[in-house]
Amino acid sequence: DAKTTQPPSMDCAEGRAANLPCNHSTISGNEYVYWYRQIHSQGPQYIIHGLKNNETNEMASLIITEDRKSSTLILPHATLRDTAVYYCIVRGNSGGSNYKLTFGKGTLLTVNP
Amino acid sequence: DGGITQSPKYLFRKEGQNVTLSCEQNLNHDAMYWYRQDPGQGLRLIYYSQIVNDFQKGDIAEGYSVSREKKESFPLTVTSAQKNPTAFYLCASRVWTADNEKLFFGSGTQLSVL
């Protein structure tokens, strides 16, 4: 799996958009970008994933650059409950046989009132 | 209500004692995982299991053991050989399709040494 780089922490005002960046310059053509988040003292939760097109669901939007070397997770209207560590992971689609899945340190997003 | 259930929520270990953390899933997933998380750190992979009766070491398996006798269950034993066991332990299961892969996590067990 390609390595990812995320800022260790970010702040956002409540009600504003939170834009969390992730660099994955060594991503290969069949690797997907996944985002999870972990609220304090809980297990991580899947948010969204994408290959090359931008994606949106009820939780967030994912913007992937055309060269796929970076992406941004967007929480359009951040609330205090969005305060969490956000993990960006790049995973290849190797027929499901790549079972070893690792997480980095992620970005601690703090939403301020 | 499907999901991953970890128990207990809090666990205390005495010196030289083995303790076992429970992880049960009713999602019918083949693959299951154990992670360790230290304060302010990311998740580190201890063991994973692709299927019943099979498991592989992750990045920090020393001092831990697992079993996978049933699809639904993947217990983790923290042995006395693990000298620094205080951490938050997370269990997960995995679902995979051709264009999607998701991990489902339990709510974790906080292990502390007395």
Contact A96 B90 (CB under 8 A): no
Separation CA B101–CA A69 (nearest Å): 20
Residues in chain B: 114
Poorest-confidence range of A43-47, A85-89, B68-72, B96-100?
B96-100
pLDDT of residue A93: 66
Judged against a pLDDT cut of 60, whether residue B1 lies above it is answered with no
Contact B43 A44 (CB under 8 A): yes
3-state secondary structure of A64: strand
A40 in contact with B at a CB cutoff of 8 Å?
A: no
For residue B33, the cross-strand partners are B48, B92
pLDDT of residue A30: 84
pLDDT of residue A94: 65
What is the distance in angstroms between the Cα of A87 and the nearest Cα belonging to chain B?
A: 9
Q: Under a CB-based contact definition with an 8 Å cutoff, are residues A33 and A90 in contact?
A: yes
A35 in contact with B at a CB cutoff of 8 Å?
A: no
Give residues with Cβ within 8 angstroms of A17, minimum separation 6. A74, A75, A76, A77, A78
Contact A32 B99 (CB under 8 A): yes
Selecting from A41, A46, A102 the residue whose C-beta is nearest the C-beta of B102 gives A46
Q: Which residues of chain A have pLDDT under 50?
A: none
